[in-house]
Amino acid sequence: MNTNYFKTLTKLFDIIIDYIENNIQNSNNVIEYKNPVNLKKELNLKIQNKPISEEQLINEVENYLKYSVKTGNKQFFNQLYSGFTLPGFIAEILTSITNTSMYTFEVAPVATLIEKELISKMCNIAGFEKGSGIFVTGGSNANLIAMFSARNKVFPDSKNKGLYSTKILTAFVSDQAHYSFGTAANLLGIGADNLIKVKTDKEGKMIINELENAIINSLKRNELPFFIAGTAGTTMLGAFDRFEEISKISKKYNCHFHIDGSFGGSIILSNKKRYLFKGLKQADSFAWNPHKLMNIPLVASVILFNDNKVLKSNLTKLTTDYIFHENEEKNCDLGESSIQCGRKNDALKVWLTWKFFGDLGFEKRINNLFEIANYLKFKILEHNSFELMADVQTLTVCFRYNTKNISDLNSFNMKIREELRKSGKSMVNYGYIEKDLTIRFVISNADVTKGDIDVFFQNFIDIAHKINN
Residue 321: band (very low, low, confident or very high) from pLDDT cuts 50, 70, 90: low
- CA–CA distance, 340 with 225 (Å, rounded to integer): 28
pLDDT at 351: 98
pLDDT at 449: 97
Residue 341: band (very low, low, confident or very high) from pLDDT cuts 50, 70, 90: confident
pTM here is 0.95
Query: Does residue 90 register a pLDDT over 70?
Result: yes
DSSP state at residue 274: G
Mean pLDDT, residues 447-464:
97
The beta strands (E) that lie in 160-270 are given as 169-174, 195-198, 224-231, 256-261
Q: Which residues contact 469 (CB under 8 A, 6 or more apart)?
A: none
Q: Are 343 and 102 in contact (CB under 8 A)?
A: yes
Pairing label, strands 285-288, 386-388 = unpaired
Residue 316: band (very low, low, confident or very high) from pLDDT cuts 50, 70, 90: low
Range with lowest mean pLDDT among 161-170, 229-238, 317-326, 415-424: 317-326
Residue 439: band (very low, low, confident or very high) from pLDDT cuts 50, 70, 90: very high
pLDDT at 3: 61
Query: Does residue 158 register a pLDDT over 90?
Result: no
Mean pLDDT, residues 18-47:
93
Mean pLDDT, residues 40-45:
95
- CA–CA distance, 123 with 83 (Å, rounded to integer): 25
Q: Are 63 and 34 in contact (CB under 8 A)?
A: no
pLDDT at 325: 59
Q: Are 40 and 195 in contact (CB under 8 A)?
A: no
Mean pLDDT, residues 192-201:
98
Mean pLDDT, residues 383-402:
97
For the chain, what percent of residues have pLDDT higher than 70? 96
User: Over the chain, what is the mean pLDDT?
Assistant: 94
Mean pLDDT, residues 115-121:
98
